[in-house]
Amino acid sequence: MASVMSRPETRLAHEEIKPSIGTRVLNRKEELLSGDLGPQIRELLQERGVLVFPKIGFTDDEQVAFTKTLGTFAPELSSPGREEIHKVTLDAKENPHSAEYLKGSLFWHIDGTMNQMPILASLLSCKVAASWGGNTGFANTCAAFDALPEEKKAQIDGLRVRHGAWATLFFYDPEPSYAKLKGYQAIGDAELPLVWKHESGRKSLVIGCTAHTIVGYSPMESAALLVEMRDWATGDAFTYSHEWSVGDLVIWDNTGTMHRAEAYDPTCGRMMHRTKLQGEEPFE
């Protein structure tokens, strides 16, 4: 009887970007779309926080298919039940429903702090690069927590923080109208742990521009500690700024990193296409 030859195992090819954050994945498009690398990519994503696929050049359909090799596809709130990309741009003609809201993305944040179950990860591909600026910055909040002095870990572990999308408004519109503020406050407010204890055993900081008040602290004390933690987590040791080229794809672990878009000309037509992975673990 003729023997059946097994297909050789596909290996994940990658290289480190910085010691505490970021890895480039170098596999061919066909290898990524096969699904064979899904478990390895998931493991590396949790370890490194951010994975870069340089100039991989996925079409929209390929990006959706690749996303589904990594977990459960998470539809956008604006497109419930639909497995499709979402356009991320400040161009109100292309993105009439959320271009204004996206101004808050220029500041450090974690997606889904209004939800008990935040998304697991986002996948962002570059279709049109900015004329200047427009990098996306990432901060590894797991590595940042691990590197804290033990006395600081003891101080913050167990603290609770109020988060609200409305708090981001004051970063780019310091004197909003009452109607605008109430509209943002209608999105809600949530109490979350400052230190997220994950099912894997790791811990991460839950901070960013949605965080506004530490429960039991005065406004001054809250602001001081939240800014201290943000400054620590966004230091050079824990951050990576990705300069986009058309065709790049970047995945980040939304449960263990913060991110932000860096300043660029809002009229330049910068266009990113996003897909997301459904959350698998609640904040607590």
Residue range 208-229, pLDDT digits in tens? 999 999 999 999 999 999 999 9
User: Would you state the structure tokens that stand for residue 221, as one six-digit string?
Assistant: 């004390």
> What rounded mean pLDDT belongs to the chain?
93
Residues 38-48 have pLDDT tens digits of 999 999 999 99
Mean pLDDT of 149-158: 98
Q: How much is the pLDDT for 138?
A: 98
pLDDT at 98 over 90: no
What number is the average pLDDT over the span 146-171? 97
Global confidence as pTM: 0.93
**207 close to 201: Cβ distance less than 8 angstroms:** no
Is the pLDDT score of 82 beyond 80?
A: yes
Q: Which has more confidence, 104 or 183? A: 183
d(CA 161, CA 210): 10
CA-wise closest residue to 101 among 116, 85, 117, 90: 90
Domains of the chain: 14-277 (3.60.130.10)
Query: Which has the closest alpha carbon to 69: 283, 246, 217, 249?
Result: 249
Q: What is the dihedral of CA 165, 171, 177, 180, to 10 degrees?
A: -20
Look at residue 116 in the predicted model and tell me its pLDDT: 85
